[in-house]
Structure 1
Amino acid sequence: MAESKNYYLICYDIRDPRRWRKAYKLLKGYGESIQFSIFRCRLSQRDREQLRWKLEQVLSDEDSLLIAGLCKRCVERVEACNRPEAWDVEHDLHQIF
């Protein structure tokens, strides 16, 4: 059975440019960049924990990381004013019960 996936906003504040680039490249493999330090990712719980662990390897104590889970209702209410196409929602084509 496939794991369910949810949307997450991942925000970070990294003070060193080298660590910032490493985190940015890592996150590019998991989701899409909304702004320089904000990503939108659609992850299973396993993928989220794997990503968090990998980011913890890159970050230092002076850096900040926020992973905010979004429920389906929250995703529906997202307003992308400047670039409406920036938040296209992938709907599951089917569900297995």
Structure 2
Amino acid sequence: MAEIKHWYLICYDIRSPKRWRKAYKLLQGYGDRVQYSIFRCRLTQRDREKLRWELEQILVTEDSLFVAGLCHRCEERLQKCNRPGVWVDDFDCFRIV
């Protein structure tokens, strides 16, 4: 059975440019950049924990990380402003192998 995916907003404030680039490259593999330090990712619970663990290997105590899960009701109320197609929500719930 396929795992359920949810939207997550991942925001970070990283003080070192070197660590920032590492985190940025890592997050590009998981989702789409919304702003410079904000990504949106559609992840399973397992993927979310893996990503969080990988980010913790990069970040230090002076850096900040915020992961906000969006419930289905929140997803419905997202405003799609300025950039059409930013929040494409017609993902398939099932994966045929």
1:10 offset after TM fit, Å?
Answer: 0.3
TM-score by length of 1: 0.91
CA distance in 2, matches of 1:91, 1:2: 13
Q: SS state of the match for residue 86, structure 2?
A: helix
CA distance in 1, matches of 2:78, 2:62: 30
Match of residue 19 from structure 1: 19
Structure 1 residues 6 and 93: alpha-carbon distance in aligned structure 2, compared to 1, 3 A threshold? closer
1:93 offset after TM fit, Å?
Answer: 5.2
Q: Is the 8 A contact 2:4 2:93 kept in 1?
A: no
Match of residue 10 from structure 1: 10
| Higher percent of residues as helix | 1
CA distance in 2, matches of 1:15, 1:80: 30
1:89 offset after TM fit, Å?
Answer: 1.1
* Runs of 5+ consecutive residues of structure 1 not aligned to the other structure: none
1:49 offset after TM fit, Å?
Answer: 0.2
Write the mapping of 1:34-73 to structure 2, written as runs, cut at 5 A: 34-73=34-73
Structure 1 residues 57 and 93: alpha-carbon distance in aligned structure 2, compared to 1, 3 A threshold? closer
Could you tell me the percent identity over the aligned residues?
A: 67
How many pairs does the alignment contain? 95
Q: SS state of the match for residue 12, structure 1?
A: strand
Which stretches of structure 1, 4 residues or more, deviate above 6 A after TM superposition?
Answer: none
Counterpart residue identity of residue 22, structure 2: K
Q: SS state of the match for residue 85, structure 2?
A: helix
1:84 offset after TM fit, Å?
Answer: 2.6
Q: SS state of the match for residue 54, structure 1?
A: helix
Q: Which moved more, 1:1-10 or 1:80-89?
A: 80-89
1:91 offset after TM fit, Å?
Answer: 3.3
